[in-house]
Structure 1
Amino acid sequence: MQISPEKTRIGFIGLGVMGHSMAGHILDSGYALCVHTRTRARADGLVKKGAVWMDSVRKLAANSDVIISIVGYPQDVAQIYLDADGILENAATGSVAIDMTTSDPALARKLAAQSREKGIQVLDAPVSGGDLGARNATLSIMVGGEEPVFTDMLPLFQVMGKNIVYQGPAGSGQHTKMANQIAIAAGMIGVCEALAYAKKAGLDPDTVLSSIGQGAAGSWSLNNLGPRMLKSDFAPGFYVKHFIKDMTIAADSARDLGLDTPGLTLAKTLYERLVDNGCENDGTQALFKLF
């Protein structure tokens, strides 16, 4: 499928912290856009700018050439794709669906297999970069599925992200995102411990950040979330509850692969303590509260 703003209708499902910005970039690029999300009010800003509201997944799928989804949990993905009113039963033959939710690699493979029976192509294309990456259209996008379909969809990915990499067959995008989340999980512990140490030693932590953020210890989490930690800004760029979901998928996948992941296990335990303290809707930088 050759896509262009002039002839390709895009459907977007899920207008949360990241999805709203991603859909906005698509609309701003000139594509005809229809949207659906559980909470109708989240679509108001996009509708005012020209998007068309669809009150069901069924209608959105039937009226779109390319359908993008970014929802909360694997069970939400399964519902919007596999239900009788879902994407696979209602999208037209020859259409493409792109699931950008961080979800289960096994589910991604299942969706790809079942979609082919319907004459539809599905890519798994989870993203990294948080709310900032979504707002600035600088997301990293990790894509699994048929490579020719990835190539066709590349202009659309480029509207939302900068680092866009084809990873391999169906499920490969999700496996790559699991590797990403494992690295972040253990790294967040290090960021929190480092900043807590700086404060305990009587240093100015902002000044410490200016040094260590530019050296070998530098990371996206340290440089972007570290300042938020120091300001006690725990607003969600990515929810604690969703990070725990990701870590659970990663731990399950690692176990299936026969891999021990002690760093991931520790991080998941600490984040679960945050949830026990009522912080499930905070951003992932709220881990600093424990330190």
Structure 2
Amino acid sequence: MLKGEKIAFIGTGVMGTSIVKHLLAAQYEVTVYTRTKEKAQTLIDLGAKWADTPAKATEEKDIIFTMVGFPSDVEEVYCGENGIFQAAKEGAIVVDMTTSEPTLAKKLYSIAKEKGISSLNAPVSGGDIGAKNGTLSIMVGGDKEAFDQILPIFEKFGSNIVYQGESGNGQHTKMCNQLLIATNMIGVCESIAYGLKAGLDLDKVMQSISTGAAGSWSLSNLGPKMLNGNFDPGFYIKHFIKDMKIAIDEAERMNLDLPGVKLSKELYNTLLDRGYGENGTQALLKYYID
């Protein structure tokens, strides 16, 4: 792909905003849509164009990215009255970066193919930090030809970009990622809660445990936020609960029992009931210390 390709980006939340900034910095022409225009104002000030609907954002674009909240949102922005499939031109590539259902990814792929459009599912990992630094891990499912075409654009905001195979496989890979995070986060929070109750200097504890066998991305990147009382969202609890539900549902279809993620979902649901749904996933610590 050349820099002259026109891009639409639908869903400029915490991570989408940083991704669009990278695309603008690389001199791509980007049109954005999000439900609340004010939330996209920073990007508009940086040179992004604004559209009032997903369909209008999509018109005459070569690549259309989406990064929204829930599978129902994905279906709406693609298949709704003012959705992408109402306006996407033949030969365009649509790329859903939402963590969503593998079955929905396959449905969108089929609809797109009928319209002469390529469809990729490309969920990411790395949180707000990875999005800001342009180091996201991107897991891509769909046709290899479309992946090869769009790889230079992925490289503007990702550093670990892996083609996972047929449509839906990107989402299945993301479920593997979320399963690891779900159970690891319990360990991180229980370790920190234990250290606090024991009266330890947690900064020194982190020095000792973060680089050994117990080390993890969550411990190194979210552990310090927990110690500073920073529960701002890099990834919302309400969205993480959605991801865990998808993983549990998919596992049940494969006759696989996952007790670890079921426990994690139960703990996060408790926090959701307490009003912490807009906090980041590191707020699980509040289950232990509030």
1:188 matches 2:194: no
Structure 1 position 84, deviation (Å)? 3.4
Q: Distance in 2 between matches of 1:29 and 1:205?
A: 41
Q: Could you tell me which amino acid in structure 2 is paired with residue 246 of structure 1? A: D
The answer to whether 1:288 aligns with 2:282 is no
- The answer to which of 262-271 and 41-50 deviates more is 41-50
Return the match for 2:224 from 227, 230, 239.
227
Post-superposition offset of 1:89: 2.4
Q: 2:93 aligns with which of 96, 118, 129?
A: 96
In structure 2, list runs of 5 or more residues that go unmatched.
none
Which stretches of structure 1, 4 residues or more, deviate above 4 A after TM superposition?
none
Which runs of 5 or more residues in structure 1 are unaligned? none
Determine helix, strand or coil for the equivalent of 1:159: coil
CA-CA distance at 1:120 after TM superposition: 0.3
CA contact 2:68–2:98 (8 Å) conserved in 1: yes
1:57 to 54, 57, 64: 54
Residue 64 of structure 2 contacts residue 93 of structure 2 at CA under 8 Å; is this kept in 1?
yes
Is the counterpart of residue 217 in structure 1 residue 214 in structure 2? yes
**Cα distance in 2 between the residues matched to 1:127 and 1:134:** 9
What's the TM-score, normalizing by structure 2?
0.98
Q: Decide whether the 8 Å contact of 1:88 with 1:120 is kept in 2.
A: no
Give SS of 2:155's match.
Answer: helix
- Deviates most, 18-27 or 194-203: 194-203
CA contact (8 A) 2:33 2:50 kept: yes
Superposition map of 1:14-33 within 5 A: 14-33=11-30
Q: 1 CA distance for matches of 2:159 and 2:285?
A: 29
The answer to whether residue 115 in structure 2 is matched with residue 118 in structure 1 is yes
CA distance in 2, matches of 1:219, 1:251: 23
Q: Matches of 1:42 and 1:19 in 2, distance apart?
A: 11
In structure 2, how many angstroms separate the alpha carbons of the residues matched to 1:210 and 1:252? 38
Q: Which amino acid aligns with 1:85?
A: N
Identity among equivalent positions (%) equals 53
Structure 2 match to 1:169: 166
Query: How far apart in 1 are the matches of 2:58 and 2:47?
Result: 18
2:275 to 273, 278, 284: 278
The TM-score normalised by the length of structure 1 is 0.98
- CA–CA distance in structure 2, aligned partners of residues 257 and 135 of structure 1: 36
Match of 1:148 in 2: 145
Cα separation, 1, equivalents of 2:200 and 2:41: 46
Per-residue CA shift, 1:113-137, capped at 9, x if unaligned? Answer: 1100000011000000111011111
Give the alignment's Cα RMSD to 1 decimal.
0.8
Structure 1, 39-48 or 194-203: larger mean CA deviation: 194-203
**Do 2:121 and 2:167's aligned partners in 1 also have CA atoms closer than 8 Å?**
yes
Question: What is the deviation of 1:232?
Answer: 1.1
Distance in 1 separating the partners of 2:204 and 2:196: 11
- Supply the AA of the counterpart residue of 2:157: M
Offset at 1:68? 0.3
